[in-house]
Structures are given as C-alpha cells and as structure tokens.
Amino acid sequence: MRNVTSETITKAFLDYCSDDTDPRLMFIIERLANHLHDFVRETNLTHEEWQKGLELLMAAGNISTPERNEFILFSDVLGLSSLVDMVNSAENGTPSSVLGPFHILGAPDVPVGADLKGGNEGTTVVVGGRVTTSQGAPIEGAELEIWQTADNGLYSNQDEAQPEYNLRAHMTTAADGRYLFSTVRPAPYTVPDDGPVGELLNSTGRHPWRPSHLHFIVTAPGHRSLVTEVFPSDDPYLDEDPVFGVREQLVMDYQKREDPSDLPDDLEAKAELKSPFYVVDFDFVLADASTS
Amino acid sequence: MRNVTSETITKAFLDYCSDDTDPRLMFIIERLANHLHDFVRETNLTHEEWQKGLELLMAAGNISTPERNEFILFSDVLGLSSLVDMVNSAENGTPSSVLGPFHILGAPDVPVGADLKGGNEGTTVVVGGRVTTSQGAPIEGAELEIWQTADNGLYSNQDEAQPEYNLRAHMTTAADGRYLFSTVRPAPYTVPDDGPVGELLNSTGRHPWRPSHLHFIVTAPGHRSLVTEVFPSDDPYLDEDPVFGVREQLVMDYQKREDPSDLPDDLEAKAELKSPFYVVDFDFVLADASTS
C-alpha cells in the first residue's frame, strides 16, 4: 500500500503479513500492532519522546548481563510479568506470583523439618504446612524449591559472603503432604534501580523496595506447577510492591512464639530454637493439570 | 494494593505513580500501561510467549552496535517510526518519511546544479525542483541534505569501496528556491534481516526489501524542518515497503529523456550527460513553523 496514512497503517501492517502465518502468532501480532499504533495515535507521540523510548531500550540492552536482565525488570515494574502470572493462574489453586531473577538450579535436597538457617543472622522462622489438591487431599511426593534473601536483603548469588546455596533447598513432601523447615526471616530489598528501570521509577515517584518474601516452586505429577511467593503480613511495602507480586492469599502472619514444645518432633532445630521465634503456616493448593 | 488482580493491576500501577509526575509523562505512561495490560489480557499471553518476547528484546540489545540499532529497526518494521512521522507531519507541507539509520553529518557543500554521480556506476538521474512555502512562494536559502545508495544498494557508510561522502551533499537554494543535481539512480536494498527483526519478518512471511529512494532533510528559518524520502514510481517494492515510508505524494516518475539541451545551464554535468538519462521534478513545500 503506497498511500499509508496514520489511519490505514495498521491495516497495511496486517496485510503485509502472510496468510500462512501461524494463527496464534498472527493473533498476538495483530493485538500488539493495534495497541502500539493506538498508543502513538492517542498520544501524538513526538519524535523526541519516541527517541527517549528507544534510548531506554538501548540502555536496557547495554546494562543487561547474564546475571541481570533489565528487560524482565521493565516487564516487572510495568506490571506485565505479574499480569502474565495472573492470566495463567489456576482458579482453584494457590495464586502464582513472580519467579524473579534469583532462582538457581541445584539447591540441596533436604528432608522435611530441615534447618536452613544454619549460621545465618536474623530472626528465626518456622515455616510449614501441606501441599494438597484442590479437593484438599494431601499430595505425597510433591517437590518444593525454596529460596529467599538473607537478613541483609541479598540472595546467595548476589553476595559473595554467603555459601553457594545459602537459604536454598529442595524438599519432597511425605505421605501426609507436609513440608516444614526453619529459616531466617527474609528481608525487604530494592529492585536494581541504577539503570533505565530506575529512571522510570524515579520519574514517576515510585520507590524500588520489594516487600520481603519466601519464594516457592511447587510441583507434583498430574498437577499444574506453581511458582509463587509468601509475604509476611507486617511488611511495610506490602501495599506498594514495585513488581505487583502481592496477592491477599499469599500474605501470612508471622506468629510470635516462645515455647517450641508443641512444634513437630521432626523439626531438626527444635531443641536449639531461641525464644522468641516465629511460626508461619501456609498450605499450597495445586490445581489439576487439566484445569485452566 | 495487596489484592491486585488482572482487572485491578492497571489502576494499581497508576496509583503507584506520584501525583507530582510530569503531566505529559504521566499521560504517556497511562496510555502505555493501558495498552500493554490490555494486550496481555486480550491474548492471555502464556509464560512461554512472554519469554519469547523478552528473548527478542535481549537479542536486539545484543546485536545492536553504534552503527546498527535493532530497536529502531523493530520500530520501523512495526510501523511505529512511520506512524510517529505521520502524527507529527505538517498538514500543509510535503509529507515526512523515515529518517533511517544512514544519515551522517558533514556532507560537502555543493552549489545548485552539482553533479553527485562522479565516478559512480548506474543510470544517470537529474533531480530538481523548488523549495516553497505552503502558499507557493519560493524560499531562498533553504538548506537540503541529500543522501542515497549507490547502484549496489549500499550507502557510503556501509561500503568501504565508496569514498567517505559518496552520494551525499548539502545544497542551499538560490533566490528562486531552486535546487538541482545530477546523480545515479538509487537501488532497492534490504533492511538488516539477520537478527531478531529478520526473525519477525520471516515468521510472518514478510520480505525485507525497501523500495529505492532519495533521502532529503529540508530546512529553512521560520519553517518546520522536513525529513522525507522520494521514491521512483516504477519501483517493484512501492506497495510493500517493510518500514511503511511510502506516501503517494512522495512517488515520482523518472522521466526518460534523450536530449539534454533543455536542461538548465547551471547543471554541472549537462555537457557530459549520456543519453538516455532520467529527470525527476519534485517540489518541497515547507509548512510554517507555527503550524501543527
């Protein structure tokens, strides 16, 4: 089409795409083109503003490394990562939440009741519950990947002072679907704000502090895999998570306790728990693999 | 907000932005967030599709260099660059078209009538016309930046075999608003298709061939600057320019001539023109600086 105008360009774009294009890809591209074109038309975007957007993308490319993906961070702070989680979340299971960039493979296998805290500084928390089906039946052999920050707000792969797999574990539930571990209370931390994402946050008056959280991936055969986070109910940043990961069902009380005697006997650290400590009860509900 | 859902996340995002945010920036971000969020909601974008999009962005960052900006190329082939041109184009002037990545500063000053062809192979074209106001008055002292490909489809800064400023010039109009030069017919060429933009084009059955064109930037005090391109009417790719730069008013006949005697006497190459040659008449109309 040689007479492309601001009104006809979207149709011209779609007409240029082959009829043989994969239908799902074509649908995605059709929606993307319509939204991006409408964005430019509605804002009458200037050349300077367009240039600024391209500079942010180029800066994101330049600051990204194998350890830091600024494009994912843009997706996170724009709410896109969480929105993808939400539209793919099973309705009859525990809500999913952002994976984040700090998960690594190879965390050590530990038994139910293991202590992850070891020599870490900070408040002791005992975290436990059950993995169940959406009908409430316990799932034996469900696998949990667990990771979190140390008391300084850093993950082990951000902090050379921590052992390689510090505060990371892989645990398999027993016949009653139970999981249990003692650990240190995770700390709030900032998303990286020294790049173009930080510029976006600054220019809109947003802060980079994520509420503290425990990360989990929970999987079991025949069930949808769950990637989620669990937040303490007293965290000051719960209502303004810059990456939109908080869901009401993922907010848990850290219950203060002084007497460890009623804790399960398979809690490895039970005898050495210093008072006070905190207890978190959280059950994971996995939707059937067949459900949407 | 701790109870963010796929329906409330857009409002949550906007609520996180400070009331002090620059109003224009806030408007742009509000429109962008609405469109990106709607895109995810309407497509139910999967994690795999989201990941694929992020991989394309990361690949664009990795393949970009000071000489090659893959993000601009994405903007080009998605129609965004041309759409920005269109919404900013003056209504009572010559339409603008994409600047492209091959303009460089410092092209030599040449007089009206200059020959740019020199030792270049290819068909000779005599290009001329006037620069006028939107009322048709000639503009004296208007400045033209001219650049184009050689016969092999390459710009001088892509091709070490060409002299540094080959087929590039800076010309100033005389009292009658006239410009004139002889050159070689530009050639079609492909946008770079060995990166993620090429992957997008391939996956939707689009080809990378741009119709041949002459680039111009035309400026004059008191008038809006014009960045545009002029296309030959017989180019095979006119109706499918991958970057959407063609406008009907920018398509010109290359008129075949055999007799140079009626050409202006200030055409430097007039005496040496080999028959047949081609003539292109094209007037540039600059809108007043005050018009939108």
pLDDT in tens, A149-161: 999 999 999 999 9
Q: Are residues B62 and B167 in the same domain?
A: no
In this structure, are B58 and B86 located in the same domain?
A: no
Residue that finishes a domain, picked among B41, B66, B91:
B66
Q: Looking at the structure, tell me whether residues B128 and B156 fall in a common domain.
A: yes
Give yes or no for a contact between A252 and A231, defined as CB atoms under 8 angstroms apart. yes
Asked if residue B2 is part of any domain, the answer here is no
Structure confidence by residue, pLDDT tens digits, B211-225: 999 999 999 999 999
In a domain, A1, yes or no: no
Same domain, A53 and A87: no
- The tally of domains found in chain B comes to 2
The answer to whether residue A270 sits within a structural domain is yes
Interface test with A, best of B84, B99, B250, B292 (most A CBs within 10 A): B84
* CATH number, domain containing residue A252: 2.60.130.10
B26 and B128 housed in the same domain: no
DSSP H stretches of helix in A44-186: 47-63, 70-77, 80-87
The residue segments making up the domain with residue B280 are 81-286
Confidence (pLDDT) at B68: 87
For residue A205, the chain B residues in CB contact (below 8 A) are 17-21
CB contact under 8 A, B21 and A203: yes
The reply to whether A104 and A249 lie within a common domain is yes
Chain A neighbors of B239, CB-CB under 8 A: 1-2
Residue after which a domain boundary falls, among B21, B37, B66: B66
Q: With contacts defined as CB-CB under 8 Å, which chain B residues touch A9?
A: 79, 82-83, 86, 244
Query: CB B62 to CB A60 under 8 A?
Result: no
Write down the pTM of the prediction: 0.90
Residues B272 and B128 in one domain: yes
Pairing of strands A277-281, A284-286: unpaired
CA distance B228 to chain A (A): 14
Backbone phi and psi for residue A24, each to the nearest 5 degrees, phi listed first: -65, -45
Looking at the domain assignment, is residue B3 inside a domain?
A: no
CB A136 within 8 A of CB A158: no
Residues A111 and A251 in one domain: yes
The pLDDT profile of chain A, 292 residues, written as one tens digit per residue, is 678 899 999 999 999 999 999 999 999 999 999 999 999 999 999 999 999 999 999 999 999 988 789 999 999 999 999 999 999 988 899 999 999 888 999 999 999 999 999 999 999 999 999 999 999 999 999 999 999 999 999 999 999 999 999 999 999 999 999 999 999 999 999 999 999 999 999 999 999 999 999 999 999 999 999 999 999 999 999 999 999 999 999 999 999 999 999 999 999 999 999 889 999 999 999 999 986 5
Of B121, B118, B187, B114, whose CA–CA distance to B146 is shortest?
B114
Same structural domain for residues A216 and A125? yes
Same domain membership, residue B271 and residue B145:
yes
The H helix count followed by the E strand count for chain A is: 6, 14
B4 lies in some domain: no
Residue B237 with chain A: CB contacts under 8 Å = none
Same domain, B34 and B175: no
Nearest CA in chain B to A69: B58
Residues B49 and B91 in one domain: no
Task: Decide if A70 is inside a domain.
Answer: no
Rounded distance between C-alpha atoms, residue B178 and residue B161, angstroms: 32
